[in-house]
Amino acid sequence: MRAGLIAALFCLAATGATAQTNCGPLKLLSAQQMAHFGATDVMVVPVLLDGVEKGMIFDTGADTTQLSRAAAEELKLNIHRSRDRMHAEARDVSGNISTSAATVHSLSFGKVQLEDIELHLWPDPEFGRTTLLLAGVLSRDLLFDYDVDVDFGTGILKLFSKDHCFGAIDYWHPPAAAMRIAIRDGHVHIPVSLDGHALDAVIDTGSQYTILSLPVARRLFGLSPDSPGVTPLGVVNNDPALNSYMHTFASLSFGGVTVLTPDMMLLPDRMARGGDRVQQTRNRALLNTALPDITIGMDVLRHLHIYLAPDERNFYVSEAGKP
């Protein structure tokens, strides 16, 4: 897989580019080194949970920050039904659902310190049991109070104040290209093109692979598990009922990034029990739980330096720095 970067900057939205008399420069609030999760490109953030050193996967694709049941039991936390009405349940790609939560007395990462915070329990009760230092996933609900900057080449996570001039984030070189994002149902959506087809994609730093929904692969490309060029990849999340496949496409592009001959996982949609979202446009409940058309994972993102500005609705990318 080769990632090519276009050097030109994209035009920012006119409404955000207006003069701001009281805005200031970037203000760095926190910076810390992340580590790779085993042999994967997925990154783990060092955290302190009730004073105990743990790690949480840096995950922009999860619904909320979530704790493993194993970690909750180890810390002797009170496990109860979630009180969060906005996010009453957590769901994984296997279709598992969790309505349980636990209250952590203290959670800190970098210079961020939180107290008495309720965290969902990960839907799979076995998650984290074989890797005791892994306590869960750190996601958008705690990260998007800030601008989030990650250079996946160096593995450094930086959090900046949102209080800065619109678009004034170009502090590294080469210059970053900017593209608009949409935040729907808590997910970061961007428009992409896959072999000439315009699709909706979600940025998911918690996924090792870039994924194409199998219903979408069938509809647009006529692909099935038995098609020529489609090879078995194995089960996902140790779920024997959730088999994945691999297929090589010609190109995937978004913003200033073009990936040539990407190998993409084809994954059945178990989140909505196989429903193609074309058939779900009138059913919001199903739409919100369907697998995205495309999930851009770490096999692509590891080549990039990214900066997410949630309030601007902008996503900045450039080539990753040297490890």
Average pLDDT of the residues in 303-317: 93
User: In this structure, are 184 and 238 located in the same domain?
Assistant: yes
Q: Residue 14: what pLDDT?
A: 35
Among 123, 143, 163, residue at a domain's last position = 143
End-to-end Cα separation, the chain, in angstroms: 19
Closest C-alpha among 301, 306, 309, 31 to residue 168? 309
Q: Is the pLDDT of residue 10 over 90?
A: no
Average pLDDT of the residues in 237-259: 89
Instruction: Write the pLDDT tens digit of every residue in 36-64.
Output: 999 999 999 999 999 999 999 999 988 78
Dist CA 269 CA 258 (whole Å): 26
**Residue 84 — pLDDT band, cuts 50, 70, 90?**
low
* C-alpha distance from residue 266 to each of 33, 91, 239 (Å): 32, 19, 15
Among 143, 162, 181, residue at a domain's last position = 143
Instruction: Write the pLDDT tens digit of every residue in 89-111.
Output: 555 555 566 678 899 999 999 99
User: In this structure, are 108 and 206 located in the same domain?
Assistant: no
Q: Is residue 239 part of a domain?
A: yes
pTM over 0.75: yes
Question: Total domain count for the chain?
Answer: 2
Q: Is residue 289 part of a domain?
A: yes
- Look at the block and give the residue holding tokens 């008399």: 21
What is the extent of the structural domain holding 226? 2-18+171-319
What secondary structure letter does DSSP report for 262?
-
What are 56's two structure tokens? 């949480």
Q: Is residue 25 part of a domain?
A: no
**Residue 184 — pLDDT band, cuts 50, 70, 90?**
confident
Neighbour-count burial of 121, counting CB atoms closer than 10 A to its CB (0-12 exposed, 13-18 middle, 19+ buried)? buried
CATH code, domain carrying 241 = 2.40.70.10
